[in-house]
């Protein structure tokens, strides 16, 4: 059975477009769904976290292991998933701070990517991601959309290159058109392989 990791990053629990879209996308794809709600923000990485991450695993103290425990859990959620369904509301032209905190926890040298002489190599390969991107006025894919391209880049950096976008952009300009585009995007998604 396909395993889906659904990540919701909207600050709004009620009335959120991206939360409604991620629910619909997960249902469309089918499979077992694990949910990660970022409305209660994750902690920022700090000096202790960075120091722990750059200490070889065999040499980490108990405090260093504790500093990385949440990151280990979040990465394990990705590792266990076949498909990531990520809600990406555009706040002030970029991703919400809550989503950036998640990215900082999971983009980890030696765990989800490594550097080689040829450049960085993502370690979380063989996965698919579907982004549910919504905005009030930002045209998706435009020069002021700093969220969609960023998410594609970050996911590719950790090895997830099969990325699709379901978009509901410019809702405050034309809500009906935004909804129709999102509906068509969900309809076009193929079901996850069983």
Residue 192 pLDDT: 56
Is 32 domain-assigned?
yes
Check the annotation: does 26 bind a ligand.
no
The domain total for the chain is: 1
Is 73 domain-assigned?
yes
What is the CATH classification number for the domain harbouring 87?
Answer: 3.40.50.360
pTM for the full predicted model: 0.95
Is 194 domain-assigned?
no
Which segments of the chain have a pLDDT < 70?
A: 191-194
Domain range for 180: 3-188
Q: Please, are residues 156 and 125 in contact by the beta-carbon 8 Å criterion?
A: no
Nearest residue to 36 via CA among 80, 93, 90: 80
């Amino acid at each position: 059975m396909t395993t889906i990791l659904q990540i919701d990053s909207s600050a709004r629990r009620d009335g959120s477009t991206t939360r409604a879209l991620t629910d619909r996308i997960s249902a469309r794809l089918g499979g077992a769904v694990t949910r990660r709600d970022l409305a209660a923000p994750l902690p920022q990485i700090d000096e202790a976290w960075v120091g722990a991450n750059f200490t070889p695993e065999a040499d980490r103290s108990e405090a260093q292991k504790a500093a990385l425990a949440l990151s280990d859990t979040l990465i394990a959620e990705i590792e266990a998933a076949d498909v990531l369904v990520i809600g990406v509301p555009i706040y002030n032209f970029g991703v919400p701070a809550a989503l950036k905190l998640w990215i900082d926890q999971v983009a980890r040298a030696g765990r989800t990517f490594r550097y080689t002489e040829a450049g960085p190599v993502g370690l979380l390969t063989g996965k698919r991601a579907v982004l549910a991107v919504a905005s009030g006025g930002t045209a998706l894919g435009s020069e002021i959309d700093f969220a969609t391209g960023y998410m594609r880049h970050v996911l590719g950096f950790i090895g997830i290159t099969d990325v699709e976008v379901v978009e509901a952009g410019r809702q405050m300009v034309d809500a009906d058109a935004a909804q129709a585009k999102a509906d068509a995007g969900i309809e076009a998604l193929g079901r996850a392989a069983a």
